[in-house]
Amino acid sequence: MNNLQLTNTLTNKKEIFNPINSKKVSLYACGPTVYDNPHVGNARAIVVFDLLFRILIELFGKNKVLYIRNITDIDDKIIEASKNKKISINELTKKITKKFHQDCKSLFCLNPTKEPKATEHVDGMIKMTEQLINKKAAYEIDGHVYFSVESFKNYGKLSNKNLGDLKAGARVEVSKKKKDPLDFVLWKPSDNNDPGWDSPWGRGRPGWHLECSVMSEKYLGSNFDIHGGGIDLIFPHHENEIAQSCVFNGTEKFANYWVHNGFVTIKKEKMSKSLGNITTIENATKKYSGQVVRLSLLSAQYKQPLDWSDTLLNEQSKVLDKWYTMYSPEMSDHTPECFEDLLDDMNTPLYISKLHDLFQQSQNGDKNKKREFNRACRLIGLFNETCEERVNFKKGKYQISEKMILSKIHERDQAKKNSNYKLADKIRADLNKEGIDIKDEKGKTTWKYK
C-alpha cells in the first residue's frame, strides 16, 4: 500500500503522494553542471534522490518508475572554466561527466532511467523559445530572448515571493536590455570562439533554466509527479522552469510535487566552491569509503542542514564497522517494517535508529531479524560490499602493513614478558596513531583497524 508522504515546497506542506499514473511514476532531479569536480554538497542531492528512487521502486516496482537526471554540459561557468584550464569545452565536460559518474558509483547510487545532456536537446529549446515568443510571453532584443515574468500570474508561488517585492538578485541576470529586471534569459548570443547553435535570433546558446524544462517534458511529459533539487535551486531556477513550462504548455501545473534537500555546511557555513570550503566526493570516499559518506549524508533528515566534519564521518564509520559484524548475503524477501519511517517524508534518522534496534536483535541470535536487518541496510544503499571488501578498503587506508602490525605485537609481547611496560605502552600508542586498535584478552593480543 502506498502511503508515502513528502514535503511539497509548492504548498509548504507534507502531502500524501498520489502519482498521476501508478504504472509510470515520474521523478526528475537537476543534475550537475559539469565544469568542476563534484563536492560533498552536490553529493547530498545525488544521494537524497537516489534514496527517493529506491523508495518509489520498493512501492511501485522497478519497471514502473522513471527517474530522469540531466547533465548540464553548456553553461557560462563551463565556458569560463575551459578558458581558465586551457582545454576545450568538449574535453572538460567529458572529463567532469566521467568523474561525476565515478562519484555516483562510489556512493552506490543506482543509475537513473535516463540521463539526457543539454547539448543533445538544443533544437527543442529553440522550438520552446519560438513558441513562447508567439504566445507573447517572451521577446527578442539584439539576439537575446527574454521570458516576461508578467506573462505568468503565479510567478513567485514556489519560492513564496511576491512579484511586486522581487528584485534582481545574485543569480538573476541584470541587463539594460530587459523590459523588467526579473525577466530571465531563454537565449543569448555566442561569441565566435564560444559554443553556439544557429537560431532565428542568430548564433547563440540556451539559458540555464530552459534546459530542464525541455528535457523533463521530453521524457516525462508536460505534467509529471516529482521534481527535485537542492534548496538553492528554488529561486530562480525552479521558479523559472515552472513559468516557462506552464506558459508553453498552457497548463496550471508543471510538476505536482517539489522536493528540495537542505545544504551541507562546514562549521555552519554552506559548502560551496565560491567560499572555497569544499571537500570533493572523490577525496571523501577515498578517505572514509563510499558507504560511510552515504550513511553520513543520510544521518540527518533531507530537508535539514547537515554539518560536515571528521567527527561525523568517524562516528558513522564506527557504526558501519559494528553493523558489518551482522553482514550476510542472505536477506528477507519482505519489505522491512522500518520502511514505514522512510514513507514519512524520508525520515532517515528514525529509520537508522530502527536499524540499530534490528542490529541488536540480530546480535542476540534472531536469524529472522538478521535477514531483515540486511534487507533494511541494502534498501538505503548500504551493504554493497562484502566484509572482505570493507576490510580491504580499510587496510588500504593505512601506511602500516599487516606484517608490521604482527611484528609490533610480538615486540610488545616480549616487552611485557621482560616487565618493560613502558615500552609495551609506547608500542600500543604508536600502533594507535597508525589507526590500529589492540586488545588483550585471555593471554592473547588481537588487533583491528579503527
Q: Are 285 and 106 in contact (CB under 8 A)?
A: yes
Q: Which domain holds residue 308?
A: 265-393
Residues 108 and 252 in one domain: yes
pLDDT digit string, tens, across residues 174-233: 566 788 889 999 999 999 889 999 999 999 999 999 999 999 999 999 999 999 999 999
Look up cell 498520489; give the residue: 18
Residues 301 and 334 in one domain: yes
Q: Which of 389, 398, 373 is nearest to 450 (CA)?
A: 398
pLDDT band for position 166 (cuts 50, 70, 90): confident
pLDDT digit string, tens, across residues 368-388: 999 999 999 999 999 999 998
Whether pTM > 0.75 for this model: the answer is: yes
What is the distance, to the nearest Å, from the Cα of residue 110 to the centroid of all Cα atoms in its chain?
A: 12
Residues 274 and 364 in one domain: yes
Amino acid letter, 167: K
Residues 284 and 417 in one domain: no
Based on the structure, what is the number of domains in the chain? Answer: 3
Q: How many residues does the chain have?
A: 450
For residue 394, the model assigns a pLDDT of 78
Cα angle, residue 199 at apex, residues 80 and 150 outer, rounded to 5°? 85
Q: Are 61 and 22 in contact (CB under 8 A)?
A: no
What CATH number is associated with residue 238?
3.40.50.620
Residues 410 and 338 in one domain: no
Average the pLDDT over 262-286 and give the result.
92
Q: Is residue 26 part of a domain?
A: yes
74-102 per-residue burial string, b: 16 or more CB within 10 A, e: under 16: bbeebbebbeeeeeebeebbeebbebbee
Residues 113 and 183 in one domain: yes
Q: In the numeric block, which cell numbers belong to residue 139?
A: 521577446
Average the pLDDT over 93-116 and give the result.
98
Residues 272 and 209 in one domain: no
Q: Is residue 8 part of a domain?
A: no
Residues 241 and 286 in one domain: no
Q: Is residue 9 part of a domain?
A: no
> Whole-angstrom Cα distance, residue 60 to residue 22?
7
Q: Are 391 and 325 in contact (CB under 8 A)?
A: no
Mapped onto helix, strand or coil, the DSSP state of residue 164 is coil
Amino acid letter, 221: G
